[in-house]
């Protein structure tokens, strides 16, 4: 078996061991309260940091730069929130670590070396129009939904089936 498959099989055992260790130290009710508190904390952090990442992505796109780093940070924040929502202390530790920006930067450096993040950035101005694009304005008489008999483009009529 490969490493990830073994890790996925051992993950529940690690979580159960975490519950046993923490439960012996602080008690059952405190352990349950910690799991619930971590879920609430994960949802709150995901919401607040998620909005910040969306603002930074928008800033990068408006400046015409590649938002790949900010998108990767957004995905890592989403993963961190999901890990905090999953009951277990091992997943909580990994989730909390992913909320720390220097750790996300380390992960970004690894990802940017090993994954191709090629993208095309289209800058758009106010109203969703592309900056510098020409606007063609038609009057009502310039546009009609009826076919023009003098048009070089012809419509191929097919019999209804």
- How is the chain split into domains, by residue range? 3-115
Span of 24-33, 101-110, 132-141, 152-161 with lowest mean pLDDT:
152-161
Model confidence over 34-91: pLDDT tens digits?
999 998 988 888 888 888 888 888 888 888 787 878 888 888 888 898 898 888 899 9
Residue 141 exposed, middle or buried by CB count within 10 Å (0-12, 13-18, 19+): exposed
In whole numbers, what is the pLDDT of the chain averaged over residues? Answer: 79
Query: Rounded CA gap, 14 and 7, in Å?
Result: 10
In contact, 98 and 77? CB cutoff 8 Å: yes
Would the pTM of this model clear 0.95, i.e. be above it? no
CA dist., res. 11 & res. 91, Å (int): 9
Please tell me the predicted confidence (pLDDT) of residue 36.
92
């Amino acid at each position: 078996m490969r490493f990830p498959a073994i890790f996925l099989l051992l993950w529940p055992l690690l979580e159960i061991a975490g519950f046993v260790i923490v439960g012996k130290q602080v008690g059952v009710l405190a352990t349950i309260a910690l799991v619930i508190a971590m879920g609430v904390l994960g949802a709150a952090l995901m919401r607040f940091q998620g909005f910040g990442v969306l603002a930074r992505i928008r800033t990068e796109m408006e400046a015409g730069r590649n938002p790949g780093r900010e998108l990767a940070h957004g995905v890592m924040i989403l993963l961190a929130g999901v890990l905090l929502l999953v009951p277990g202390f091992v997943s909580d530790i990994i989730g909390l670590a992913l909320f720390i920006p220097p750790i996300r930067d380390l992960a970004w450096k690894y990802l940017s070396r090993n994954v191709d993040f090629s993208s095309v950035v289209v800058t758009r101005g106010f109203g969703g129009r592309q900056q510098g694009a020409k606007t063609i304005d038609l009057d009502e008489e310039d546009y009609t939904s009826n076919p023009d008999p003098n048009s070089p483009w012809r419509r191929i009529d097919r019999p209804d089936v």
